Amino acid sequence: MSIEEGLVVHKSSSDLRVETRIGVVVRCSLRGKLRAAGDGRSPVLVGDRVEISLTSEGEGTLERVLPRRNVLGRSTAGGKPVVIAANVDALLIVMAARDPPPRWGLADRMLASADRDGFEAAICINKWDQIDMAPERGELLDTCELYRRIGYPVLTVSALRGDGIDEVASRLGNKVTVLSGHSGVGKSTLLNRLDPSLSLTTTEVNEVTGKGRHTTTAAALYRIPSGGHVIDTPGFREFMPSDIPRTELWLHFPEMAGLEGACRYKDCLHREEPGCRVRAALEEGKVPRMRYESYLRILESLPRS
């Protein structure tokens, strides 16, 4: 039996594909012991390094998942853990400038999770062409600058026109980056710009609900011409950071983390506690109010121990 090492490049409920070291993509089934894994985590993720046995041309069986460097995960609103990808270096949070409107609270949840897991994180505002002359352009520019001051790179692009694509491609080079965001923000259009040979299906936002449609239905990994790999994930409308204790959430907000040790109480949650340095910094304008309010919303969503 021939054993090959490869990389999981596509995973859905009914399809698993592995790219071998020589670039051949093999459709694989799972060994029973892998299918039986029932710990709430997926036994196989896009980005996994695996060993497969070849059974016929273009077909094989996944024998073993090799040790992971890390996983990117989240929780649903109901607290159910969901793992997204393995062996990740960076997270690129994609939002639309207008249609659908940017959800900064969702971005804050992803940023906190990325900080907890040690991933690089950046924000990409797509569909910038939609606000060339729009009244909300100034407010959006101010918000982008706010996040840059905190330390997060913010890229403004139009995948439709091709504006800013070179900067995105440069950021994705030589690493494995997960593209993540709300449905309908144009992730597939962005990927098609980065590599036109992909020809991924794209759709418009639902005119009735104003919400994005789920164009991507399975997680997939792509090599892009500028170097590096991109993992595209199905869009989602909720994201809960997983495994962050309530007393540690603020440490994943960089503008607050710099105040560590300054509060009167070690277990300060930075709400109404006396001697809270974070709230003092808020009143001094050193902590952005929109970020502080986002922190409070996330804090209330985390389980109480």
Same domain, 265 and 134: no
Same domain, 92 and 228: yes
User: Domain limits at 261?
Assistant: 246-301
CATH code, 26: 2.40.50.140
CATH code, 111: 3.40.50.300
Same domain, 96 and 163: yes
CA–CA separation, 49 and 32 (whole Å): 19
| Residue-level pLDDT, tens digit, the chain, 305 residues | 688 999 999 988 778 999 999 989 999 998 776 665 544 456 899 999 999 999 888 899 999 999 999 988 877 666 677 788 999 999 999 999 998 999 999 999 999 999 998 999 999 999 999 998 889 999 999 999 999 999 999 999 999 999 999 999 999 999 999 999 888 899 999 999 999 999 887 655 444 334 444 455 578 999 999 888 999 987 666 677 777 899 999 999 999 999 988 999 999 999 999 999 999 999 999 999 999 999 999 999 888 86
Residue 237 lies in a domain: no
Please provide the DSSP assignment of 192-252 as one string: HHH-GGG-----PPPTTT-PPP----SEEEEE-TTSSEEEE----S--B--S--GGGGGGG
* Structural domain ending residue among the three candidates 65, 86, 110: 65
Q: How far is Cα of residue 270 from the mean position of the Cα atoms in its chain?
A: 27
Instruction: Name the domain count of the chain.
Output: 3
Residue 240 lies in a domain: no
Which token pair is 277?
């340095």
Same domain, 76 and 102: yes
pTM for the full predicted model: 0.88
Same domain, 81 and 221: yes
Task: Give tens-digit pLDDT for 83-92.
Answer: 889 999 999 9
Residue 239 lies in a domain: no
- Considering only CA atoms, which of 229, 223, 93, 72 is closest in space to residue 153? 93
Same domain, 82 and 226: yes
pLDDT at 152: 98
Percent helix, strand, coil in the chain (nearest 5)? 30, 25, 45
Same domain, 41 and 120: no
Same domain, 99 and 204: yes
Same domain, 157 and 297: no
